[in-house]
Structure 1
Amino acid sequence: MYRIDRKTAHAKKIGRIAVIFLHKKGKRPNLAVCKRFLGRIVSCRMVVHARRFCRVFHSGQSLSRSGAIVCISLYADPQRWSKQRQFAGRAPSAALSTGASPEWGRGDTSGRLTCMSGRERGTWMKRFFSIFTAMALVGSLLAGCGGSSEAGGLQNGGQQGGQAQQTGGPVTLTFWTTMRETETVALKELISQFEQENKEIKVNLELIPFGEAQNKFRTAAQAGNGPDVIRSEVAWTPEFAKMGLLEPLDSYFKDQDDFLEAPLSYSKWNGHVWSVPEVTDALALLYNKRMLKEAGFNEPPRTMDEFAAAAKALSNGKDRWGFYHRQTEAYFSLPFVWSFGGGLIDDNLQVLINTPGAVKGIEFALKLRDQDHAYPKDLDAANSYQNMNEAFKKGNAAMIFNGPWATSDILAGEQFRDPNNLGIAPIPAGPDGQTGSPVGGHSLAIYAGSKSKEAAYKLIAFLTSRESQAKLASKNGTLPTRRSAYDMPEIKENRLISDFKAVMESAKNRPVIPEGGQIFASFDPEIQAIYKGEKKPQEGLDAVAGAWKALLGQ
């Protein structure tokens, strides 16, 4: 009988391949035989019991130059093993939590593990070792092949990203950025300058789609294959730090006083600093100066009452609107929440999204649409953002809430051929003088498993210098995170960036907690239900509060 305990588990490391074999008590496995089947498989963990034989079969690594093919994990049924009390490995739920799902055998697609009978076990083992043999052959063939790999691809003997420390010659850093390709023109120029000034360091820049980057980094880093430097959205940083995937920068990051408070707050969590702010942003009130002036408004609205008056005056309720509001994404409703005294999650982890102020803010936004007819009922989630921008660019809407990332597109519109017609103002204040705009942005962080941390921080320091930030801002329309960058000539001469600095002074941080990147998963569906009329504001926000409390374990 096979016993599963630490005394009979045998661990063997074959090069970079870690393998664990479980064998009969008192006997040793034949490693020579095992090696033939393993070939170049990344890792294999086996849990075997004489009568209960269950499994999860899942893909781990992509095809690459090193021949890394697949990661196989075999786990026992948790209920069976809780009775046996002999299981000494990882809990079966650990495999499922990584997103693995049964892809072969009797395991169903719901992720529930099933057991094989004794008759099935023999047939299954033959198939199992046949697959091992086939993968070994394919791995051998791939090992000799060239070709490009995926983002964060393997290099220098098969080690990826942070593992890619060369012996002799320059250090090669892998840098994952989520910038759009058009934005990387200035970034590539800066990297070229960095390499010229640091002959011993080469930078492998890889563009990762923003929508994929969070999960891609989490997966790669947990597998020991993260990039040396990651461009992290501000809400991701605490999550990555809690998971142990980032290197603390306390001993590196010495000039924090030069950074704006709001973006810097996102880099700090649990008493340490984990990233360096690269760019920042916040929603502003963007307005068509000419349209407001023609309607008798010479200045942008400074209060929500003035905002409502201007929006109503500029609307005909059909094809001309004083305001255009994106109602399918909760992010764009946060200015109303904060201006009326509401909140999200405070420093004490108290949920504030269903407080009276938050409810009043959403009720105010609904009144603007349903009673004042100041903006249209656009609930097309896939196209509402584009619809909002197009209406503003064509003169069908006089005001919108949007950020600095949108200005280059807006200035291409017929209403803004004269750039001076685009007005930028802080979010109007609510009845008690409160206001707020959600701070966003990105920061640069070092993967905890990087073998080149000193070189990685040298790159980060260069890219976040005031000169580099000024260049990126002037080329891409982004906002610098350094105070001193706003004194650079190219920034002072850029009227749009200077106007956004005033917006940043009243902007608010989203919750700086590991769960911060997940709050909109429950917020967006509820805000859509509210704007569709399926739920009252209080009811919808109560549901959000309940989801957030569950997320926080309250």
Structure 2
Amino acid sequence: MGARMKRLTAVMSIMLVMMMLAACGTNNNTANSSTNTVKEEKPSGETEKAKPVTITWWNFPSFQALDGEVGKYEKEIIAAFNEKNPDIKVNLEMITFDGGPEKLNVAIASNSAPDLIYDAPGRIIDWGKKGLLAPLDDMIKDEVRNDISPAFWKQSTVDDKTVMYPINTAPFMMAVNKTIFEKIGALDLLPLDRPDRTWTFDEYKKALQAVKEKAPDVIPSGFFAKSQAGDQGTRAYLANLGVSRFLNEDYSQVAINTEDAGKALDWIVQAEKDKLVISGSAALAAADVNDLFLQGKLAFTINYSAVLKAQNATLKKAEFEEVLLPFPTLDGSKPKLEPYLGGMAIFNNDDEAKIAASKKFIDFVANDEVYGKKNLIQTGGLSVRNSITGLYNDPEYTYAELAREFITDPPTIADGWADVRTFWFPELQRVLLGDATGKEALDSFAANANKAIEDAKAKAQTQKK
């Protein structure tokens, strides 16, 4: 035996002795415990029980309230999940769309983020770009990935890693109080006899004028510019009235600062003076406008979807029928609608057990044989999966399915989006308050937004190096 082999044999012998001594020393600390205790073997066929794990789920009101109680349905989901996964405890905390975003920012800054969140790409993608989320690719089966449009995966992915598990969707569009038009004998002014319901800016203006003249106690249409909430409504509204995109196709620059979009914004200012658009829109939030719609005081609302239609069903303060409409376009061309996309994400809190448990919960919410479809219906949304259709016996959902053909790429996946959106409403307010023309405000927005996009790209490239 060579010297090298002898040294190796000696080292192995020493290690074996140390391991035996360590094994003897790991017995319990009672004074009279035996060093010869043999580990008890589990009976044949019995598997070791998983260690209990507790995860925290923060949830916006993504599901319709059950029996009028916010969070009650979510508790039902958790109870059903626990029947199959008794070792995972899920702590639920409901947050609101008004205060929730700031609460999340504070939690993230103080390293106390929840494990799970049900939200949309606008925030989730930003968190993903900051490295705050756990990748989900290992839990996505091929049959699921192939059943969902690449456009939805694009909104759920950062650097080729899936950070949001997409679940429900619906195109954002307008809604109109159909009952009002029936009462004033002007139903023919709405494009409801057209399968795709597309219509022109001029047709829309005629409908507003009819409400003003024949239903003076009803506000024809709404607009808002107080806060970021609902900004997708104002973006798509102006982009379609001006037949433009919000950002260009590669998300590198703002595209909405066109002459026609500027004129559309100027029209809103004049329409407010003409009582065709609600007064004081600069100080109104999206929720304020939709609340007036639910009270029957507003004929058109510009930030709606099949999801909101379902969630607002119990919030109506007046009896009326609302129907969904795409945004009108200047020339009658097909509209460009931004999609609502809801899904779940996991904050990476450096606990693999919690991440694994959170993935099990997401899979249950999205794919359980009973609760998968039940949860979709409770959101009021359409499934992101192409194979799951016809969930509702409702003509408005049939139309929402059809309107998916108008969905375009949303700007929310652009670099620096969290900063870009902060420049939008201040510019709208400047126009509404008479401090700038529509084109001036859109150009100012473009300058600030383009810089934010460029800065974010440069920062990302530096971090990769």
Q: TM-score, normalized by length of structure 1?
A: 0.61
* 1:62-104 per-position Cα deviation (integer Å, ceiling 9, x unaligned): xxxxxxxxxxxxxxxxxxxxxxxxxxxxxxxxxxxxxxxxxxx
Residue 402 (structure 2) aligns with: 502
- Which letter maps to 1:286? A
Q: Distance in 2 between matches of 1:212 and 1:529?
A: 25
Q: Distance in 2 between matches of 1:210 and 1:408?
A: 13
Tell me if the contact between 2:257 and 2:442 (Cα under 8 Å) persists in the aligned partners. Answer: yes
Tell which has more relative contact order, 1 or 2 (C-alpha 8 A, sep 6+).
2
* 1:360-410 per-position Cα deviation (integer Å, ceiling 9, x unaligned): 432343454445x422323362567435532x3454432222323255436
Question: Identity over aligned residues, as a percent?
Answer: 21
Tell me if the contact between 1:342 and 1:359 (Cα under 8 Å) persists in the aligned partners. Answer: no
Q: Gaps (5+ residues) in structure 1? A: 1-166
Residue among 276, 282, 305 paired with 1:374? 276
Q: RMSD across aligned C-alpha pairs, in angstroms?
A: 3.2
Q: Secondary structure at the match of 1:550?
A: helix
Residue 361 (structure 1) aligns with: 264
Residue 194 (structure 1) aligns with: 81
Q: 1:334 to 1:384 in 2, by over 3 A?
A: closer
Q: CA deviation at 1:216?
A: 4.8
Q: Secondary structure at the match of 1:527?
A: helix
- Which letter maps to 1:438? E
Residue 483 (structure 1) aligns with: 386
Residue among 217, 221, 234 paired with 1:333? 234
- Which letter maps to 1:185? K
Q: Gaps (5+ residues) in structure 2? A: 1-48, 192-197, 456-465
In the TM superposition, 1:514-529 aligns within 5 A as 514-529=415-430
- Which letter maps to 2:277? Y
Tell me if the contact between 2:224 and 2:282 (Cα under 8 Å) persists in the aligned partners. Answer: no
Q: Distance in 1 between matches of 2:266 and 2:117?
A: 40
Residue 457 (structure 1) aligns with: 359
Residue among 289, 292, 305 paired with 2:202? 305
Tell me if the contact between 1:232 and 1:444 (Cα under 8 Å) persists in the aligned partners. Answer: yes
Residue 170 (structure 1) aligns with: 52
1:267 maps onto 2:167 in alignment: no
* 1:174-194 per-position Cα deviation (integer Å, ceiling 9, x unaligned): 222223774422222122111
Q: CA deviation at 1:267?
A: 0.6
- Which letter maps to 1:179? P
Tell me if the contact between 2:186 and 2:210 (Cα under 8 Å) persists in the aligned partners. Answer: no
| Matched pairs, number | 380
- Which letter maps to 1:354? N
- Which letter maps to 2:139? Y
Q: CA deviation at 1:537?
A: 0.4
Residue among 277, 284, 302 paired with 2:166? 277
Q: Distance in 2 between matches of 1:385 and 1:411?
A: 15
Q: Secondary structure at the match of 1:313?
A: helix
Residue 474 (structure 1) aligns with: 377
* 1:246-302 per-position Cα deviation (integer Å, ceiling 9, x unaligned): 122222223123335554432112222111023334432212223323433336333
Q: CA deviation at 1:197?
A: 1.1
Q: Distance in 1 between matches of 2:91 and 2:149?
A: 29
* 1:342-377 per-position Cα deviation (integer Å, ceiling 9, x unaligned): 223332412213133432432343454445x42232
Q: Secondary structure at the match of 1:298?
A: helix
Tell me if the contact between 1:285 and 1:424 (Cα under 8 Å) persists in the aligned partners. Answer: yes
1:400 maps onto 2:319 in alignment: no
After TM superposition, the structure 1 stretch with the greater mean CA deviation from structure 2, 433-442 or 216-225, is 216-225
Tell me if the contact between 2:239 and 2:256 (Cα under 8 Å) persists in the aligned partners. Answer: no
1:258 maps onto 2:154 in alignment: no
In the TM superposition, 1:97-496 aligns within 5 A as 169-179=51-61, 182-214=69-101, 216-217=103-104, 220=107, 225-254=112-141, 255-259=144-148, 262-293=151-182, 294-298=184-188, 300-301=190-191, 302-303=198-199, 304-316=201-213, 319-328=217-226, 330-339=231-240, 340-346=242-248, 347-370=250-273, 373-379=275-281, 381-382=283-284, 385-390=287-292, 392-403=293-304, 404-405=307-308, 407-409=310-312, 413=316, 415-416=318-319, 421-431=321-331, 433-448=333-348, 449-452=350-353, 453-465=355-367, 467-487=370-390, 491-496=391-396
Q: Distance in 1 between matches of 2:160 and 2:271?
A: 43
Q: Distance in 2 between matches of 1:387 and 1:217?
A: 25
After TM superposition, the structure 1 stretch with the greater mean CA deviation from structure 2, 536-545 or 240-249, is 240-249
Q: 1:550 to 1:279 in 2, by over 3 A?
A: same
Tell me if the contact between 1:285 and 1:400 (Cα under 8 Å) persists in the aligned partners. Answer: yes
Q: 1:343 to 1:548 in 2, by over 3 A?
A: same
* 1:168-218 per-position Cα deviation (integer Å, ceiling 9, x unaligned): 632222222223774422222122111111233222223344455545555
Q: CA deviation at 1:536?
A: 0.3
- Which letter maps to 1:206? E
Tell me if the contact between 2:189 and 2:207 (Cα under 8 Å) persists in the aligned partners. Answer: no
Tell me if the contact between 1:326 and 1:332 (Cα under 8 Å) persists in the aligned partners. Answer: no
Residue 140 (structure 1) aligns with: none
- Which letter maps to 2:155? Y
Q: TM-score, normalized by length of structure 2?
A: 0.71
Q: Distance in 1 between matches of 2:244 and 2:428?
A: 15
Q: 1:178 to 1:423 in 2, by over 3 A?
A: closer
